[in-house]
Amino acid sequence: MLDSKDLRVIVVGSGRTGLQTARLLDDRGHNVIIIERNPDRVQELVDERVATIIEGDATNSEILRQAGPEQADVIATMTDTMGTNFTVCTLATEINPDIRTVMRSVYETTEDYAKFVDDIVFPERAGARATVNAVESGIQALKDTSAQVDLLEIRIAPGAPIAGQTLADVNLPKGCVVISDIEQTRIATADTELRPGQTYVIAVEPGGVDEIRQLFRG
């Protein structure tokens, strides 16, 4: 479906995250149009040559129209102001009801907006996961999801409470599920043995991670 063709994407806001996103999309061969309000940044962008640039305020429909939302497949609002991002998404949907809207959030919880836009991304979470991975060993967050559920790869420490048990013997807190078996070839079952030194992939809701760490890492 969408994967197969080159997309036309409007990126609103070209701060670090917006620009980096535009670069990635450009690398993948999609067509990117950036709307940027700050003239200084526009000057820097021109040198980058990743995208067509429209200088101006995207909440102004005159400016937005210049980016061609009628032909665009997706609009991604990447400024760090929620209000701006939301307004631009709504405006774009009015011009082109079929456009996919992706909105950047600056908070963790965004249920209020989820009804009105197609997808919400919270880039800081990915950045924070990367930081925590750099700090902690034995648990690595598997990346590239905007989901709140953490996918963790955990190595069981020798002497951890659950080391050597089978899944049937342990009672994990709610909101967490062991996904992989040893060697990560099969889905975990009740007979899955939790061997010290082995790594397992586990999905955990944010509130349960410390307990998981205590059980798996000791």
Partner 1 sequence: MGQGSRGPSAELGLLDATMIGMGAMIGAGIFVLTGLAADIAGPAAIVVFALNGVVTAFTGLSYAELAASIPKSGGGYAFVREIFNDFSSFIMGWMLWFAYMIAGGLYALGFAPNFLELLHVYGIVPSPDEVGAIVLPVVDTAVPLAFALAFVAVIGLVALNAVSTAASGSAETIFTIIKVSILVVFVGFGLSSPMLSEAEFQPLFPEGTGAAAILPAMGLTFIAFEGYDLITTVTEEVENPRENIPKAIFVSLAATVVVYLAVVAVAIGTLGADGLADAGEAGIAAAATSFMPTGLPVIRNGGALIVFGAVFSTLTALNAVVIASSRVAFSMGREGQLLPSFGQLHHRYGTPFVAILASAVVMLGSVTLPTQSAGNMASLFFLLSFIIVNVAVIRLRRERPNMNRPYEMPLYPAPPLIGIVLNLILAGVLVEYLIRTDLLALMLSAAWILLGGIAYLGLNRLRAEPARIPTDGDTEITPEVED
Partner 2 sequence: MTSDLDIIVAGGGRVGFQTAELLANRGHDATIIESDERIVSEIADEWVATVIQGDATDPDIIEQAGVDRADAIAALTGETGLNLAVCLAALELQPEIRTVARIDRASAESYTRFVDAILFPERAGARVAANEIVGSDVQTLVDMTGDLEIMLVRVAEGAPAAGKRLADVRLPAGALIVSDDDGNRIARSDTTLTAGSRYVVAIEPDVADEVMNLMRG
| Measured distance CA(125)–CA(141) in Å, rounded | 11
Rg (CA), the chain: 22
Q: What does 144 interact with, of partner 1, partner 2, none (CB < 5 to 8 A by kind)? A: partner 2
Per the listing, tokens 């995207």 go with 58
Binding partner 2 by CB under 8 A: which of 112, 136, 166, 170?
136
Backbone dihedral angles phi then psi of residue 199, each to the nearest 5 degrees: -105, 145
Binding mask 18-57 for partner 2 (x = CB under 8 A): -xxx-xxx--x-x---------------------------
Q: What does 166 interact with, of partner 1, partner 2, none (CB < 5 to 8 A by kind)? A: none
Binding partner 2 by CB under 8 A: which of 166, 168, 170, 206?
206
Q: What does 169 interact with, of partner 2, partner 1, none (CB < 5 to 8 A by kind)? A: partner 1
Backbone dihedral angles phi then psi of residue 66, each to the nearest 5 degrees: -65, -20
Binding partner 1 by CB under 8 A: which of 32, 34, 54, 215?
215
Q: SS3 of 31, please?
A: strand
Q: What does 190 interact with, of partner 1, partner 2, none (CB < 5 to 8 A by kind)? A: partner 1
Taking the complex as a whole, the smallest distance from the CB of residue 55 to partner 2 amounts, in Å, to 22
Confirm if 35 and 58 have CB atoms less than 8 A apart: yes
Binding partner 2 by CB under 8 A: which of 44, 70, 94, 108?
108
Both tokens assigned to 132:
């925590």
Confirm if 154 and 200 have CB atoms less than 8 A apart: yes
Closest to partner 2 by CB, 62 vs 115, is 115
| Measured distance CA(115)–CA(101) in Å, rounded | 11
